[in-house]
Structure 1
Amino acid sequence: MIKITKIEGISGGYPDEIEGTYEWYTAYDGGECYDLYDAQEIFQKNGSFKGMNYHLIHYPDGDVHSPFQLRENVYVDKPIWNDGEFHFLVVHFDKHLIQITKYSPDDRKLEVITELSLSEVKDCYNLKLETTPLHLGRSGNDGFYEIVWPEKKKIAIGETETVLFRDGDRLYLSEWEENPDYQEYVIVRDIHTGKILEKGKGYLRRLPNNVYWKS
């Protein structure tokens, strides 16, 4: 017979895996799930946004951590796992403010690492946190990957390339093409020059303890 654990403290959100850890899941709160760019457009059009939030769920006990409460005009992005801690990108549309936060599950402590003006970015299209080291980046679909924080840098990338993660000075990206069949590639670029260091067919999947599967 199966065992069903009732998760208390969340409503409506489906538990998703968090890459890099096997013991934590996340679930959104706020009704319909929007990405950050859509939420920004809703706020600009209507002058308000109902809010978006994410909870953390610990496996196997189902204990829920809620570092944030659902608030109007505040978008809390999906958490990323970084060496035993979580990081959240938080955007306050009404205050034109970006916050990068850190949450330690052991002591349930939340702190703001830095704050930026929303004017630091053209818009929130593909704006998200990446590891490692932790940085805020944006793929604006304009042929560049832009690092917004903690440094400012633009790196030329292909129009079908998507950033996967950063490992020191190496930026890992996924690229797709249809020529004529669909194919994906893993590309490694130098973070300083944008030069392609490696390129090969396949996929990368992030597992716990900084292990990656390549297929």
Structure 2
Amino acid sequence: MLRNGLLLAVFAFFCTALVALVNQQTFDKIKEQQQLELKRVLHQIIPATMHDNELVQHCILIHNEKVLGVDTPLPSYIASMKGIPVAIAIETVAPDGYSGNIKLIIGISADGEVLGVRTLSHAETPGLGDKIELRKSDWVLSFNGMSLLSESDPRWNVKKDGGEIDQFTGATITPRAYIKAVKRALVYVNANKDKLLTRPANCEVNYQ
């Protein structure tokens, strides 16, 4: 029994060491792929023609649970042209999705226009709520060019609630949560535009 126990312990040690070695060897590669994916998404929601800086290098952190939907800092990225800030890409979370948190990123111009929206992660129902993914549906493109007339702008609702944005057949909770998250971010950026766009690129936490 003692011999078997020692063999099992040795086997467990080597398995743990092997997993640690694989993780160490793949960490940099995974991080590199994540950066490439982030760059791809950022250039989708803030066109390259609008800025001449590298977006991922001008990162700031925002800590505001009411706006972001989570009590942890999330990154935003400032776009500028010839040193003049022109837009921001802000990550946020819709905490009230049908199956939990929906993480998204929104590109907003300095004039308060939505340039683009993309879903970063979610657990919504396949075939229904997953239409928030661009590869499944062009629904997220509905936000392109939208802005806020006021915080109570009635257009920022699904059509079922009197708004201008389509809901999904058989799934209304997901688009409602998504719209609210985009609207919250837009209200916040509009109210804090000058402070946000001029913050230094050091990812310091903003406790506003």
TM-score normalised by L of structure 1: 0.27
- Of structures 1 and 2, the larger Rg is shown by 2
Higher relative contact order (CA 8 A, sep 6+): 2
